[in-house]
Amino acid sequence: MGRVGLGLAVGCAVVTCAIAAALVSRSVRRRRRWGQAVALVRELEVACDTPVGRLRQVVDAMAVEMHAGLASDGGSKLKMLLTFIDNLPDGTEEGTYYALDLGGTNFRVLRVQLGGKGSMILSHKVESQPIPQELMTGTSEELFNFIASILKRFVQSENDGFQQLPDDRKDLGFTFSFPVKQLSISSGVLIKWTKGFSIEDAVGKDIAQCLNEAMTKIGLNMRVAALVNDTVGTLALGHYNDEDTVAAVIIGTGTNACYLERTDAIIKCQGLLTNSGAMVVNMEWGNFWSSHLPRTSYDIALDDESPNRNEQGFEKMISGMYLGDIVRRVLYRMAEESDIFLDPAKNLSVPFILRTPLMANMHDDDSPDLTEVGRVLEEHLKISRVPLKVRRLIVRVCDIVTRRASRLAAAGIVGMLKKTGRDGSGGVASGRTRGKPRRTVVVVEGGLYIGYTMFKQYLNEAISEILGDEVAPYVLLKVSEDGSGIGAALLAAVYSSNR
Ligand code: ADP
Ligand code: MG
């Protein structure tokens, strides 16, 4: 071999070595970054851990806060609002009643026909539509005019198999799912907006009166007979169907719960007398907080950037409005710190771009190559060519976030049972002695619970885990659909002036 040949051979060898070294170092780097991504997920898993011991601490904290909220106004982050509902429907109600359901993503108008004793609900009709974004932040007049006009169109719609509306005034149940200080069964002032609504001039106003005025203006002969929130409506329908129903929980855009409380336990309202000796209390549990809640840096950032900072802490860990965004925050950090995505993942920086139903689709994906995960990433986040192992990691993130959410909601439910002496612990709070547990039904409503298979499964499992084998069989969780609206119509019937 001549000098030239030798030089070439050496040169080639050097280049080959350099390429090999570069490849090795890139693969080492990639492995290290992959390791970083996995470490981030592990860290999340630890931070979101909810072993049963911790859940029991949350149960106790919930029961303690419920006491405090019932003892005095402002005594707890739980408002424990009186609803003035002392009688729940029992099946004897009769007639045609209307209801409106406003409280989150969709707005519903309903008509319910009741046949009286034994015949249950003869028929009901629901019309649902999204609330236009601009009305969520406009004026109260615009919002209530819009609602009244939809209701009028609904009432006037013909040929739908319902009885014609007679000329006399009709009673309406109004489900308004924001914190309201109730003044009577049919009136109450808005305390504050939640779930992305912000119509400043409505705060402090009587919401039922706003709607009554809008209905009069548009020529509708109707009045609000019952102003309730979605939890109360759901409880009403649950009780109508099964009289062992004592509590209702909403897990949709937001989360909240209400339950039947003895009036003598409502200390902040001494001398409160009701026919039944009980009253439905709207907990507004979305605002619950306890140091036992497993909070992560992602939750803190979400809260810091929210319009209602330091409020609705429980809701921000549990409800449909937020779960997708917690996952997005985790994925964004993974993309920033460990370039696991081949494509730039700019869209991950956009708040709320990953909606919770999309997250549920990814989580519920049981195809071998996680096709649905790939589709969501490509179509909604514009990230393509995501390797299978990264998709698997993403599913794990969804699992961690949902598992925590559903288990915390379960702890909240058991907290209510504990407060009312139905958790089998002896009911110290309610003065009941240990004995055979009573059959107890809790109705659950909301798109998140109904639509997200894993959420529901984890929640149900956690309830049994916390209660234990002896008590769990006595506690039934029943799914309710449209209960928030139908229940309001039932309550309009119970509290109707024509009854
Ligand atoms: P609202 O709470 O506004 O009355 P819903 O009870 O219908 O409305 O809940 C709607 C919310 O539930 C959505 O905003 C979404 O966050 C969540 N959701 C609905 N469907 C699903 C689903 N299939 N998977 C996960 N979350 C869902
Ligand atoms: Mg709802």
Q: Which long-range contacts (CB under 8 A, 24 or more apart) does 368-373 make?
A: 370/395
**pTM for this model (two decimals):** 0.89
Ligand 1 pocket: which of 100, 101, 102, 105 to mutate (most atoms <8 Å of CB)? 105
* Ligand 1 cavity residues, CB under 6 Å: 103-106, 252-253, 320-321, 356-357, 360, 446-448, 451-452
Question: CA–CA separation, 438 vs 431, rounded Å?
Answer: 15
For ligand 1, atom 25: residue with the closest CA: 357
**Residues 262-280 pLDDT 10s:** 999 999 988 777 788 999 9
**Residues 184-224 pLDDT 10s:** 999 999 999 887 788 999 999 999 999 999 999 999 999 99
**Mean pLDDT lowest among 61-75, 112-126, 459-473:** 112-126
Q: Ligand 1 centre and the CA of 486: distance in Å?
A: 18
- Is the model's pLDDT at 339 over the cut of 80? no
- Is the model's pLDDT at 411 over the cut of 60? yes
Q: Ligand 1 centre and the CA of 37: distance in Å?
A: 30
Over residues 381-397, mean pLDDT? 95
Q: What is the predicted pLDDT for the residue at 127?
A: 84
Q: What is the predicted pLDDT for the residue at 129?
A: 86
Q: What percent of the chain has pLDDT over 90?
A: 71
Q: Ligand 1 centre and the CA of 372: distance in Å?
A: 19
- Dihedral sign from CA coordinates of 400, 401, 404, 410: negative
For ligand 1, atom 6: residue with the closest CA: 446
Contact 480, 462 (CB under 8 A): no
Catalytic: which of 230, 303, 365, 482? 230
Catalytic: which of 140, 177, 425, 480? 177
Task: Give the count of alpha carbons within 13 A of 199, CB side only.
Answer: 20
- Is the model's pLDDT at 471 over the cut of 70? yes
Q: What is the predicted pLDDT for the residue at 169?
A: 80
**Residue 384 designated active-site:** no
- Is the model's pLDDT at 293 over the cut of 90? yes
Contact 170, 275 (CB under 8 A): no
Q: Ligand 2 centre and the CA of 467: distance in Å?
A: 28
User: Any alpha helices (H) in 350-452, and if so which ranges?
Assistant: 356-363, 371-381, 388-419, 447-451
Question: CA–CA separation, 236 vs 230, rounded Å?
Answer: 10
Contact 188, 227 (CB under 8 A): yes
- Is the model's pLDDT at 429 over the cut of 50? no
Q: What is the predicted pLDDT for the residue at 433?
A: 46
Give the pLDDT band of residue 435 (cuts 50, 70, 90): low
Residues 6+ apart with CB under 8 A from 442: 245, 246, 247, 248, 249, 413, 416, 417, 475, 476, 477, 478
**Residues 232-267 pLDDT 10s:** 999 999 999 999 999 999 999 999 999 999 999 999
More confident residue, 321 or 9: 321
Q: What is the predicted pLDDT for the residue at 42?
A: 97
What are the residues whose beta carbon lies below 5 Å from ligand 2 (ion)?
A: 230, 252, 484
**Residue 290 designated active-site:** no
Question: CA–CA separation, 65 vs 73, rounded Å?
Answer: 12
**Residue 177 designated active-site:** yes
